[in-house]
Structure 1
């Protein structure tokens, strides 16, 4: 079987948004044959979006999931209820979600075991959907793959540890190593495996149907594989990009100023209808549609996630001080251990080299009391940056009200793993007004 334009659709994940829309709302554009655009949920309070072939998913701040679009295989109607989810991902006609306890939920099309072969247990920190296969990254840096294996996209999954991100294409997969190098495997008809760029210095990988993308540490983009729709040759030059996403035969990138670049296939206007403006905080690609998460500025920009030892996702509920509350939340594989948040200025950070190194490096200028509070049994912890009494340990950062003066701040949590050495979470930045 050869993967053709009519065979599959695909999507991955991304992040950011436009100043004309409310914080935490969703923008969708492109193909609308199954309501991928018109059925986009209104309102705010969303923290991540993901695209499938003809369906989409979004994660709410309360940890619940909403799905819409094509439901022929239960991609929408079988969406798991309840809260406690921390990540969502889409395949062509199946979906995945990561729970706060590190376990995985899968639903939708199951012909190749995309659902029934989902690995049990906890300890996972990321999920990704391919065409009819899926991937998950464990906390120890190893990779699990399951589902369709006709092109060895499962059986050739690289062994060992040291991986920090996974991504899926239609019948190929990618993984980023802690040293910033990339490994690809599976279907290679258009060089999506053999054309993988060598060397180190990469920060993120993303997959389209039969093309791939990677983000370099300098903020530039490299694309390879199928170029029939300009997915490779029309890759935007220059630096200043923060995040990438692959669609079916199109791609998206988020710039540091919160604007979106799209290129490649434009059959359903997934390129020409890309929303203008800045303030986006995440992008995601579907089959012939795209999504973006809207924020009140450059909010929740992940800048430190390439070290497998830096465990725990950090999110800001908003970057707008006008409501009188900004919740800084942590989701980690660990529970019931003490934690405290750190605050620094700017968006640039050193690449951490171990569990004792801080993404904020030497620019940490504010911190809450060490024992700000205990992580819950579900692995979560939140404090209000604008309310000193929100943490049991009390104490606002030494920066005080300067948070609300239009600066870009960086945030990271320190937490403990039982009696083991202390760890740091991933790092995020947000422009706070």
Structure 2
């Protein structure tokens, strides 16, 4: 996934689901749509993701099980054989897939034109795609970027490229986007409230290597391991803590009005809005470190080096009630939707439960190798691309 605005949306959701590296899945939180009614398992979960109102899981036999909300048809991919899917992305109510011939297909809510993929010039293919609330953005093999859909804040008005340069990364926020160029320069466009479009100049000899977009603020990591943030600073979410000597930042995550940053020693710092305790990072036990972070609107989630998941902050729907695991059964990945859950199995299959139909059956000898979900839809990539 993962686009930044969808990570934020996913963490607003009403439940949490976790996948074990072996054959057990636990789900917890609001179960009004059956999102915690885990399907029977006969294989091992290897990956799990969830969208706004549906969930998806992949099992070790390569199958996908999906469930959740499907009002706009965003959960049912159109036929594209004999081509294969090589990348997936989601918006709030629509889904995009990049195919093996370099084309894009999109389905789901079309009310803002976010599924009307622009035609490609001759000899050009799509190489990256991202989705936001009601618009889509994609990078092409010639280094250009196109965006389409809702354009109320100018988020589809892609800046022109200087000669000799290309775009190399895209990050989509609520109603704004960030593009990283081949020279390391960041170009924001769209919603400019709270100085969202005022990118700090990197120090001489450094360049931007990672970006993330929150609701009304942006975060970026530099090649020297420093982190900068800008935009709305209403709760101090742009006040990046000073690093101790010898350490660097290695991962960033932007939430609703708070920010997480993981350091090279495996510790995590959080800053910004803490009204729900979303910045109160749990203390690590001796010998452990954090290996992944995720920021929601008012809560935070992290995976430790021993595979244990910890969550803190707002828990109104049980989104921080991570169940305990028996010994030697660490978590491999986790995600949660609004009224659904998903678990990924080691056999390449996906288990999905809640208000969404099962995933399409796979041809023989194939497996699902990647899956992602938006608010009301899901997408998956197969082992043949």
Q: TM-score with structure 2 length normalisation?
A: 0.55
Q: Which has the higher contact order (CA 8 A, sep 6+)?
A: 2
Q: Which of 191, 201, 204 in structure 2 is aligned with 1:198? A: 201
Shift of 1:196: 1.1
Q: CA distance change for structure 1 residues 137 and 230 in 2, over 3 Å: closer, same or farther? A: same
Map of 2:173 onto structure 1 = 169
Q: CA distance change for structure 1 residues 276 and 202 in 2, over 3 Å: closer, same or farther? A: same
Map of 2:137 onto structure 1 = 135
Shift of 1:175: 0.7
Superimposed CA distance per residue, residues 393-429 of structure 1 (whole angstroms, 9 cap, x where no aligned partner):
xxxxxxxxxxxxxxxxxxxxxxxxxxxxxxxxxxxxx
Map of 2:311 onto structure 1 = none
Map of 1:248 onto structure 2 = 256
Superimposed CA distance per residue, residues 166-212 of structure 1 (whole angstroms, 9 cap, x where no aligned partner):
1111111111111211111111111101x211245110111112211
Q: CA distance change for structure 1 residues 209 and 44 in 2, over 3 Å: closer, same or farther? A: same
Equivalent-residue separation in structure 1 for 2:263 and 2:45 (angstroms): 22
Q: CA distance change for structure 1 residues 79 and 218 in 2, over 3 Å: closer, same or farther? A: farther
Gaps of 5+ in 2: 9-17, 308-331, 333-382
Aligned residues: 284
Superimposed CA distance per residue, residues 287-311 of structure 1 (whole angstroms, 9 cap, x where no aligned partner):
55666678878xxxxxxxxxxxxxx
1:95 and 1:108 in contact (8 A); partners too: yes
Shift of 1:58: 7.2
Shift of 1:218: 1.7
Q: CA distance change for structure 1 residues 236 and 40 in 2, over 3 Å: closer, same or farther? A: farther
1:169 and 1:209 in contact (8 A); partners too: yes
Map of 1:188 onto structure 2 = 192
2:95 and 2:106 in contact (8 A); partners too: yes
Superimposed CA distance per residue, residues 245-269 of structure 1 (whole angstroms, 9 cap, x where no aligned partner):
3333343444445565554445776
Equivalent-residue separation in structure 2 for 1:165 and 1:119 (angstroms): 21
Q: TM-score with structure 1 length normalisation?
A: 0.50
Equivalent-residue separation in structure 2 for 1:101 and 1:52 (angstroms): 27
Shift of 1:27: 11
Map of 1:103 onto structure 2 = 103
Please tell me the root mean square deviation across aligned C-alpha atoms, in Å: 5.0
Gaps of 5+ in 1: 1-8, 14-19, 298-317, 319-377, 381-433
Q: CA distance change for structure 1 residues 66 and 220 in 2, over 3 Å: closer, same or farther? A: farther
Q: Which of 219, 222, 230 in structure 2 is aligned with 1:224? A: 230
Superimposed CA distance per residue, residues 339-382 of structure 1 (whole angstroms, 9 cap, x where no aligned partner):
xxxxxxxxxxxxxxxxxxxxxxxxxxxxxxxxxxxxxxx986xx
Q: CA distance change for structure 1 residues 283 and 61 in 2, over 3 Å: closer, same or farther? A: farther
Map of 1:78 onto structure 2 = 76
Superimposed CA distance per residue, residues 128-150 of structure 1 (whole angstroms, 9 cap, x where no aligned partner):
22232221122332112111111
